[in-house]
Structure 1
Amino acid sequence: MSKTRPHWGGATARDWPKLPQTQKTSSKKHSVIGLRKLCYCCLPNDIMKQLPVLEPGDKPRKETWYTLTLVGDSPCARVGHSCSYLPPVGDAERGKVFIVGGADPNRSFSDVHTIDLGTHQWDLATSEGLLPRYEHTSFTPSCTPHSIWVFGGADQSGNRNCLQVLNPDTRTWTTPEVTGPPPSPRTFHTSSAAIGDQLYVFGGGERGAQPVQDVQLHVFDANTLTWSQPKTQGKPPSPRHGHVMVAAGTKLFIHGGLAGDSFYDDLHCIDISDMKWQKLRPTGAAPTGCAAHSAVAVGKHLYVFGGMTPTGALNTMYQYHIERQHWTLLKFDNSPPAGRLDHSMCIIPWPGTCTSEKEDSNSATVNCDAEKGDSTEKGVTQGGDSHEESQADTLLCFVFGGMNTEGEIYDDCIVTAVD
């Protein structure tokens, strides 16, 4: 197997010589961890066997991690890809998950793979048209609910700040002409920072472990194809990259991230209705300072999974109650998945049954009485909107890929039910 450094940290990840010294926002310093030249390989079978398999038709239990086994043309192991769910269109009964781009130690990818949640099969949607990139943003604006837009990211030659749009029906990419001053080229790895037609960008990676230095909130309107930088109030988060940025209702939340030799554990919020930044001081068991983790919003909660710390990759999941401003470290009944960073995560619906029996009380079900409508009514919406399904569906956090700090790069699909 080839030897390489872990592929994380922006366009010059291969030149990043070590994990940075970490310090929480209290400025307490910890020891430096040197980063060895590490091997690149796929997820070991013994790790995969720790998780039960969720088969089609199974009803998942809460507080349990599962692995999905899918047939077809699956993507190779990778990091820095994006992951999006699109609801069904036409006669399709179930929607699809889209895995876009990413990288391994040898190259950046321009391919798009899909999972059909009705047939439980992988498919190579396209391998052309997308400029190769990793650690980019993906989002689906309200004005084009059946398309996937990507922004930013990097390949081995440098960072990007361009936008491209995937039409899943024709399996083709286009590059729209936009107006207004765009953000500088940067890595910005999320699929949860859109509200309505607008993508919100804050921070991101510039070079190696260094973030871009601007703390401006950048807004892209997909309906008008315009970039803008609205005036905000309050103190924004410090420059960082590898943070999570997730939308819930009219609020945007930022947690963690990295700048030079500092990991952050802080939580910030800005409400787009008044454009005022707040540094939150939640109660409970909060995540440690970390970077390259993932987050999604479901109802009144945020879910944060994985990430990198000075001591290695995390396999923990935290739930944040937005109204109560309270963190909870979730406990699981089975062995946790492999710790990972630079993975991707989204919410998907899993077929369930409408029941109030006690044995089914551990499953999260929604909208049990609605009949099948058009595709915009039955889809799980991304970007901070409510997740709704026309049938009694269990909502799952779906995680694909990523890597650990020992150099293992993953190609697995893991899921767990959420409220």
Structure 2
Amino acid sequence: MGEGINGDARFAAAPYDHWVLLDPAGGSPRPSARYKVLTSTRCCAGAKCSFFGCRDKLYVVGGSRNGRSLSDVQVFDFRTFTWSALNLTRDSNQLNHENNATGGSFPALAGHSLVKWKNNLVVVAGNTRSSSSSNKVSVWLIDVETNSWSAFDTYGKVPTARGGQSVSLLGSRLLMFGGEDNKRRLLNDFHILDLETMMWEEVKTEKGGPAPRYDHSAAVYADQYLLIFGGSSHSTCFNDLYLLDLQTLEWSQPDTQGAHIAPRSGHAGTMIDENWYIVGGGDNASGSTDTIVMNASKFVWSVVTSISARDPLACE
């Protein structure tokens, strides 16, 4: 899915390699249009499939509409082609939790990051309108089995609050790179959160990594490498690709082959086997109309398909 959501759901349908608009069944209500949303998918309960192998639901968490951050969670069911709102309640064990600034309501967020871990959607950081917002990164868990949410205390060297960062999951470790802090300072730091212990670690990498940026994309390949692509500074967008070896903590900038890829930020991506698919985004002047794929074993870029510049998928 691209970063902007207008209530439409789409497939890039094989073998034709083009996007197909899906109409919700039975006139089910669509979520309001929004910007800077995060999406996640989950497998069918009990199904023997990988995370990307059997996706029956799409979760849309928060975002921004007309300058107002949203707190709702919308769910698209691919089996029934219907949208529904997830009515979240706060975990009863947390009603007296010290991190209780939002009471029983899930916080309104934009520019946050989202990964699926076990039965939870892990929501990290983002921009909030709350006057009580911490100057440190916040972490929330949404349990999609119980439809409850929790705010979690984290420990160690907790990173400064930010939005537009990337997060990736490697086992039970959440990898966070870059973003923009509350003072609009661009970041290129790298942090790891152990989701079992909720302990943060700031990881010092070797020099030569990406310039500070936000609204980039990231993916883990072969359980050893973190890929960073694109993103934006305050004056320009990037089309560069960086590789971090998670064992040696050394950055490299691979020589890529194949199609020329235009700069973009605010795009979405997903890694399937050795192929990293990227859609949406833009360069502050126009949206990106191409859906692209990086073969991570060969560092070859290809264009899968293209859409009209007026299409909502070509959004920043």
TM range (shorter): 0.7 to 0.9
> What residue number does 2:149 align with?
173
Aligned residues of 1:110 and 1:127 also touching (Cα < 8 A): no
Match of 1:65 among 11, 19, 28: 19
Structure 1 residues 109 and 63: alpha-carbon distance in aligned structure 2, compared to 1, 3 A threshold: same
Within the candidate set 34, 39, 51, 1:83 is matched to 39
Q: Does 1:201 align with 2:162?
A: no
| Contact 2:88 2:148 (8 Å CA) reproduced | no
Contact 2:289 2:308 in 1 (8 A): no
Q: CA deviation at 1:318?
A: 1.2
**Shift of residue 228, structure 1, vs aligned partner:** 0.3
Name the residue aligned to 2:70. 109
Question: Is the 2:292–2:305 contact (alpha carbons within 8 Å) kept by the matching residues of 1?
Answer: no
Deviation by residue 1:285-311 (Cα, 9 ceiling, x = unmatched) = 232122111111111111121212143
Distance 1:60-1:263 versus aligned 2 partners, 3 A rule = closer
CA contact (8 A) 2:231 2:266 kept: yes
Hey, what does 1:218 align to over in structure 2? Answer: 191
Distance 1:336 1:239, change over 3 A: closer
Unaligned residue ranges in structure 1 (runs of 5+): 1-7, 9-40, 342-402, 405-419
What is the rounded CA distance, in whole Å, between the counterparts of 1:152 and 1:62 in structure 2?
38
Decide whether aligned partners of structure 1 residues 194 and 188 sit closer, same or farther in structure 2, where only a CA change above 3 A counts: farther
1:320 aligns with 2:281: no
SS of equivalent residue, structure 1 residue 111: strand
How far apart are the structure 1 equivalents of 2:165 and 2:248?
25
1:102-251 alignment to 2 at 5 Å? 102-126=63-87, 129-141=105-117, 145-156=118-129, 161-188=137-164, 190=166, 193-206=168-181, 210-213=184-187, 215-249=188-222, 250-251=224-225
User: Partner letter of residue 164 of structure 2?
Assistant: F
% same residue: 21
* C-alpha contact (below 8 Å) 1:82/1:189 kept by paired residues: no
4+ residue segments displaced more than 3 Å: 156-160, 334-337
- How far the C-alpha of 1:261 sits from its partner, in A, is 0.9
Structure 2: gaps spanning 5 or more residues: 48-53, 90-104
C-alpha spacing 1:268/1:113, structure 2 compared with 1 (3 Å): same
**CA distance in structure 2 between the partners assigned to 1:122 and 1:243 by the alignment:** 28
Cα root mean square deviation, aligned:
3.0
Rate the CA distance shift 1:140–1:299 in 2: closer, same or farther, 3 A.
same
1:259–1:336 distance in 2 versus 1, CA, 3 Å = closer
Counterpart in 1 of 2:95? none
Larger relative contact order, structure 1 or 2 (CA cutoff 8 Å, min sep 6): 1
In 2, the alpha carbon distance for the partners of 1:97 and 1:235 equals 37
Task: Report the TM-score, using the length of structure 1 for normalisation.
Answer: 0.62
Q: Choose 1 or 2 for highest CA Rg.
A: 1
Q: Structure 1 residues 267, 106: CA separation in 2 closer, same or farther (over 3 Å shift)?
A: closer
Quick one: structure 1 residues 224 and 340, their matched pair in 2 at CA, closer, same or farther if it must change by over 3 Å? Answer: same
2:100 match: none
CA distance in 1: counterparts of 2:204 and 2:116, whole angstroms: 25
Question: Is residue 244–residue 294 contact of structure 1 (8 Å, CA) maintained in 2?
Answer: yes
Secondary structure (helix, strand or coil) at the match of 1:262 reads coil
Shift of 1:335: 5.8
Q: Do the aligned partners of residues 301 and 186 (structure 1) sit closer, same or farther apart at CA in structure 2, a change above 3 Å counting? A: same
Q: Is the 8 A contact 2:6 2:31 kept in 1?
A: no
Q: Distance in 2 between matches of 1:166 and 1:198?
A: 17
Work out the CA distance in 2 between the residues paired with 1:193 and 1:272.
12
> How do 1:399-414 and structure 2 match up within 5 A?
403=315
- Cα distance per residue 1:44-91 (max 9 Å; x no partner): xxxx8xx9x87xxxx854312101111434311001111011112259
* Cα distance in 2 between the residues matched to 1:211 and 1:277: 22
Look up the SS of the partner of 1:193 in the other structure.
strand
- 1:278 aligns with 252
Partners of 2:161 and 2:124 in 1: how far apart? Answer: 10
The one-character-per-residue Cα deviations of 1:305-360 (angstroms, maximum 9, x if unpaired) are 1212143111211111111111112245x86771556xxxxxxxxxxxxxxxxxxx
Partner Cα separation in structure 2 for residue 315 and residue 295 of structure 1 = 14
1 or 2, which has the higher strand percentage?
Answer: 2
Does the aligned pair in 2 maintain the 1:291–1:309 contact within 8 Å?
A: yes
Q: Per-residue CA shift, 1:201-228, capped at 9, x if unaligned? A: 11102358x4434x32101110111100
CA contact (8 A) 2:265 2:281 kept: yes
TM-score computed with the length of structure 2 as normaliser: 0.80
* Alignment-mate amino acid for residue 85 of structure 1: T
Give the letter for the 2:170 counterpart: I
For 1:407, the equivalent position in structure 2 comes to: none
* CA deviation after TM superposition for structure 1 residue 118, in Å: 2.0
Residues 259 and 222 (structure 1), Cα distance of their counterparts in 2 relative to 1, 3 Å cut: same
